[in-house]
Amino acid sequence: MPEKIRKSEEDWRAELTPEEFHVLREKGTEPAFTGIYWDAKDEGVYRCRACGQELFSSETKYDSGTGWPSFWAPLSDDAVETAPDHSHFMRRTEVLCSRCGSHLGHVFEDGPQPTGLRYCINSISLRLDKDEA
C-alpha cells in the first residue's frame, strides 16, 4: 500500500491550478471532450496530477465514447480507492488516488472485458509519462 500524503487544502491550493484544485480536491468534473487525454493514443503511464502516483497504463485505455479517458483496470490493485458517491441525485462509485485522496473520476460496470469496468477519469486529474510505456 502506498504511503499516504497528507496536506492541508491550503497547501494543495498553492500547488495546483484553480481548475486542477476544483476537480482533484473539490470533486469537480471537467466537461466531456475537453480534456487533453480523452482521445490520446500515446503509450505510457498515467499518474496522479496531484502526487505523481502511477494510476493507469495506456494498455488498459480504450475509447468509451464518453469524452473522458477510460480504462478497464488500474495499474495495480492498490493504485486507486473507491467510495460511494450519492451527489447529484445519483448512485455512483467515486475513484480516488490511494496515495493523496484526490478525486479522479468514477467507475462504472459497463466496461469491456476482461474486467467489465469503465474507470471514467478526468484528464485534468492525470499526467501522462510517455517514457514509461
Catalytic residue positions, numbered: 120
Residue 4: helix, strand or coil by DSSP? coil
- Of 88, 92, 98, 85, the closest CA to residue 50 belongs to 98
Could you write out the DSSP letters of every residue in 45-70? EEEETTT--EEEEGGGEE--SSSS-E
d(CA 97, CA 112): 22
Residue type, 55: L
